[in-house]
Amino acid sequence: MTRTIRSEWRNFIGGAWKDAAAGRRIPIENPATGEAIAQVARAERAEVDAAVAAARACFASRVLQDMRPAARGQLLFEIAAQLKAMADDIALVECLDNGKTLAGGRNEALAAARYFTYYGGATDKLEGRMIPLGAGYVDYTVPAPYGVSAQVVPWNFPLQIAARSVACALATANTVVLKPPELSPLSCLMLGEACERAGVPKGAVNILVGYGHDCGAALVGHDDVDHIVFTGSVRTGQSILRAAAERVLPCVMELGGKSAGIVFPDADLDQAAASTAIGIFTHAGQVCSAQSRLVVHRSVHDQVVDRLVARAKRLKIGPGIEGSDLTPLISAAQRDKIEGFCLGAEQAGAKAATGGRRVADRAGHFMQPTVYVGVAPDMTIAREEVFGPVLAVLPFDSAEEAIAIANGTDYGLCAGVYTRDLERAHWAADRLVAGQVFVNEWFAGGVETPFGGTRRSGYGREKGQEALFNYVQTKNVAIRLDRQAGGRPGG
């Protein structure tokens, strides 16, 4: 049975669904087949202006700020409930416009809902401080929202990533203009439907689907934006930071990674291989926190590689809708880029223990699950983010060397350690330059655990309680009660 989705989609501005002023559209394709499945009204500068104005008007109305925080929390709980009720529809959309399995798409919906319940529960726990200034003064701090938050999202987990930022923004009484990725925007538009059904005030959440170079650039460069949350590539992040510098805007930058898992000789090798396979082959490796490097002790190198190759060969490659293990890449361009990395690795002397090429006999954009051995730390395949199902394996002899290899790229998003020795795990975690360290399970953690990078992987944290502090700035209020009582308010 062929399953289809709605073919026409519009932008969500000021609480209404709008066509584009210029009448242009963005075609959306199914990456598993290459077929066009829908089109979306293409947002450009006119839509950016309208959405930012709607977000500004909502913020200026103080509707979110003046609401009792617990009531704002209820609003977020209601968005979560709507997302859960829409989970099957969201799953199909994620399957068709992103390439995920139905289970993976459903997980997008449920994870998004979880962000809204998590941060909904935080609205009435964001407290200020009372600062003692002596007799005659009362001083307190307030976690104040920034205002209009511009949020730009990549295509790999669009709904989850949008949800983690939108939920934090609403929890802290900011308003939002969200720009979903042009390649897989539909589930983000469904977040707009969830907000509408939940009764979110008009203009509090606006969603614009446009290309990065015009809609995205116009949004982050808009004079009336107060705050930017960007999740995507380092290059785009750098261009957004340049635009933000003009207006001295605070930014959260969630960028790429080249994360390494270190396997010590005492590790449970089956577990290490299973976890590594999940770390690199999940969503065909299109994961910022993918375990794209395996740094393995020379004494167990072959045993771990053999296990990984066996796992890679067992993966069923195909469309997500068929429940496949290895699903497509988002576009032909992305597949070509990944295959180019593989050819480059082989020219540099790495050897494919398995894979290394596109899947030629299928429609859609599939790449073989790939494991490279004989990789040296200075090779491109060991240093640059591939964003595909390609693992680079690097041997080590001493623990210090393992740390040096793991830390030896420009990135610092995640790192991992496989060992039975907790003392060694602590030792390594202490030395790994990364925002998050996994021990014996790649992707351990969840909505509750702070996530973000160091170095070129960015800064600021999403997820967990830490994320909330990226969405508020401390305002200090110093009150002089009695002129005669003495003391001076802090300046």
Instruction: State which of residues 156, 259, 276, 368 lies at the interface with ligand NAD (CB under 6 A).
Output: 156
Should residue 28 be labelled a site residue for ligand NAD when binding is judged by CB under 6 A? no
Should residue 412 be labelled a site residue for ligand NAD when binding is judged by CB under 6 A? no
Strand order from edge to edge, sheet including 370-373: 351-354, 370-373, 390-396, 291-297, 259-263, 414-418, 436-439
Shortest Å, Cβ 408 to ligand NAD = 18
Residue closer to ligand NAD by CB (options 165, 174) is 165
CA-CA-CA-CA torsion sign (436, 441, 443, 445): negative
Instruction: State which of residues 69, 104, 120, 232 lies at the interface with ligand NAD (CB under 6 A).
Output: 232
Should residue 212 be labelled a site residue for ligand NAD when binding is judged by CB under 6 A? yes
Shortest Å, Cβ 93 to ligand NAD = 17
Residue closer to ligand NAD by CB (options 214, 268) is 214
Tell me the DSSP string of 246-258: HHT--EEEE----
Should residue 153 be labelled a site residue for ligand NAD when binding is judged by CB under 6 A? yes
Should residue 40 be labelled a site residue for ligand NAD when binding is judged by CB under 6 A? no
> What is the separation, in whole angstroms, between the first and last Cα of the chain?
69
Q: Mark the segment that binds ligand NAD (CB under 6 A) among 85-93, 212-220, 274-282, 296-304.
A: 212-220
Instruction: State which of residues 152, 176, 260, 272 lies at the interface with ligand NAD (CB under 6 A).
Output: 152
User: What are the phi and psi torsion angles at 250 (to 5°)?
Assistant: -70, 140
Instruction: Calculate the dihedral angle through the C-alpha atoms of 57, 59, 62, 64, rounding to the nearest 10 degrees.
Output: 130
Tell me the DSSP string of 360-411: TTSSS--B--EEEES--TTSHHHHS---SSEEEEEEESSHHHHHHHHT-SS-
Of 16, 81, 88, the residue nearest 47 (C-alpha): 16
Near ligand NAD in 271-310, by CB under 6 A: 288
Residue closer to ligand NAD by CB (options 75, 437) is 437
Q: What distance in Å separates the CA atoms of residue 240 and residue 253, rounded to the nearest whole number?
A: 9
Instruction: State which of residues 59, 137, 155, 459 lies at the interface with ligand NAD (CB under 6 A).
Output: 155
Q: What distance in Å separates the CA atoms of residue 94 and residue 106, rounded to the nearest whole number?
A: 8
Should residue 94 be labelled a site residue for ligand NAD when binding is judged by CB under 6 A? no
Q: Say whether 168 is catalytic.
A: no
Near ligand NAD in 255-274, by CB under 6 A: 255-257
Residue closer to ligand NAD by CB (options 37, 244) is 244
Q: Mark the segment that binds ligand NAD (CB under 6 A) among 253-261, 316-324, 353-361, 375-383.
A: 253-261
Q: What distance in Å separates the CA atoms of residue 112 and residue 292, rounded to the nearest whole number?
A: 25
Q: Say whether 342 is catalytic.
A: no
Shortest Å, Cβ 431 to ligand NAD = 22
Shortest Å, Cβ 411 to ligand NAD = 9
Residue 233 tokens, joined: 């590539």
Of 137, 140, 93, the residue nearest 112 (C-alpha): 93
Residue closer to ligand NAD by CB (options 185, 318) is 185
SS3 458: strand
Should residue 244 be labelled a site residue for ligand NAD when binding is judged by CB under 6 A? no
Should residue 460 be labelled a site residue for ligand NAD when binding is judged by CB under 6 A? no
Q: What distance in Å separates the CA atoms of residue 276 and residue 141, rounded to the nearest whole number?
A: 45
When computed from its CA atoms, the radius of gyration of the chain, rounded to whole angstroms, is 24
Q: What distance in Å separates the CA atoms of residue 490 and residue 291, rounded to the nearest whole number?
A: 48
Should residue 217 be labelled a site residue for ligand NAD when binding is judged by CB under 6 A? yes
Should residue 470 be labelled a site residue for ligand NAD when binding is judged by CB under 6 A? no
Q: What distance in Å separates the CA atoms of residue 334 and residue 319, rounded to the nearest whole number?
A: 16
Residue closer to ligand NAD by CB (options 92, 243) is 243
CB-CB contact of 406 with 293 (8 Å): yes
User: What are the phi and psi torsion angles at 31 (to 5°)?
Assistant: -70, -15
Q: Supply the DSSP symbol for 485.
A: G
Shortest Å, Cβ 485 to ligand NAD = 50
Residue closer to ligand NAD by CB (options 76, 208) is 208
Helices (H) and strands (E) in the chain, counts: 15, 20
Residue closer to ligand NAD by CB (options 297, 463) is 463
Residues 62-81 as x/- pattern, contact with ligand NAD by CB under 6 A: --------------------
Residue nearest to ligand NAD (CB): 212
Should residue 175 be labelled a site residue for ligand NAD when binding is judged by CB under 6 A? no
From 29, 47, 254, 462, active-site residue: 254
From 195, 288, 342, 414, active-site residue: 288
Should residue 239 be labelled a site residue for ligand NAD when binding is judged by CB under 6 A? yes
For residue 379, count other CB atoms closer than 10 A to its CB. Answer: 19
Q: Mark the segment that binds ligand NAD (CB under 6 A) among 39-47, 123-131, 179-187, 398-406.
A: 179-187
Strand 259-263, strand 370-373: pairing: unpaired
Q: What distance in Å separates the CA atoms of residue 64 and residue 45, rounded to the nearest whole number?
A: 26
Residues 380-399 as x/- pattern, contact with ligand NAD by CB under 6 A: -----x-x------------
Residue 177 burial (CB < 10 Å; 0-12/13-18/19+)? Answer: buried
Should residue 216 be labelled a site residue for ligand NAD when binding is judged by CB under 6 A? yes
- Give the catalytic positions in this structure: 254, 288
**Residues at the site binding ligand NAD, with contacts judged by CB under 6 A:** 152-156, 161, 179, 181-182, 211-213, 216-217, 220, 231-233, 236, 239-240, 254-257, 288, 385, 387, 413, 453
